[in-house]
């Protein structure tokens, strides 16, 4: 097994691979010579497969974000996981450190967002904006860092839609940008992005058994 990937694979069977993506490694990239999760997993699969191994990306995490990802090893598994992803049978949960303290302590954010491919950024927009897509998440404050200056808090987030930079944009929009977010928050920050995809829930694409994975 690939030494880098060995410690990152949490679960594997004939249909799926669940792994822990470290911060700083892209899910998939076209840049030659840059290691990404897809190329590392394909190298791992090549040891036990004849010919080019099949691996489908189901969902992605931004390069600076660490957390859980599931990949499909067969076209049938990919179809079923994508079906769950688009019909809300797929649970994606995050922890985030944000500046300030969101009001109220628990709430749902519903916005429309549009992506600018030229700058690789997204922004909140009107429903009528060309390319606008609905964005929805639910958050709850888990801890307020009372000694922090300026104020900061740890929140849990359930993502209902998977828009580009969604959590980062929606939290910044309510005045609580993520710690270390130089794109949507403090441009001078030197700390890592305070975001982790810590929990993943879905039904196994072949057995329909409930699958739940959580990082400590």
User: What b-and-e string marks burial along 66-105, b requiring 16 or more CB atoms within 10 Å of the CB?
Assistant: bbbbbbbbbeebbebbbebbeeeebebbbbbbbbbbbeee
Which of 6, 13, 36, 62 is the catalytic position? Answer: 62
User: What b-and-e string marks burial along 133-171, b requiring 16 or more CB atoms within 10 Å of the CB?
Assistant: bebebebebeeeeeeeeeebbebbbbbbeebbbbbbbbb
13 is catalytic: no
Give one word for 33, left, alpha or beta, with left for phi > 0 and alpha for psi -120 to 50.
Answer: left
Q: For residues 181, 166, 7 and 45, what is the CA-based torsion angle, rounded to 10 degrees?
A: -130
- Residues tagged active-site: 62
């Amino acid at each position: 097994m690939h030494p880098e990937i060995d410690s990152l694979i949490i679960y594997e069977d004939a249909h799926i691979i669940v792994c822990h993506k470290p911060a700083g490694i892209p899910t998939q990239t076209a840049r030659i010579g840059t290691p990404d999760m897809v190329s590392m997993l394909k190298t791992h699969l090549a040891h036990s497969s004849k010919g080019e191994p099949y691996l489908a990306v189901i969902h992605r995490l931004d390069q600076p974000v660490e957390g859980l990802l599931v990949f499909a090893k067969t076209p049938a598994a990919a179809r079923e996981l994508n079906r769950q992803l688009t019909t809300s049978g797929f649970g994606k949960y995050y922890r985030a450190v944000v500046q300030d303290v969101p009001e109220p302590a628990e709430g749902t954010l519903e916005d429309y967002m549009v992506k600018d491919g030229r700058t690789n950024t997204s922004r909140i927009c009107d429903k009528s904006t060309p390319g606008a897509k609905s964005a929805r998440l639910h958050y709850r404050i888990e801890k307020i860092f009372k000694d922090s200056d300026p104020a900061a808090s740890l929140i849990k987030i359930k993502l209902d839609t998977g828009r580009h930079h969604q959590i980062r944009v929606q939290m910044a929009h309510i005045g609580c940008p993520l710690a270390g977010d130089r794109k949507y928050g403090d441009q001078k920050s030197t700390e890592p992005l305070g975001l982790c995809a810590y929990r993943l829930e879905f039904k196994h694409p072949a057995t329909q058994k409930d699958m739940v994975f959580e990082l400590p």
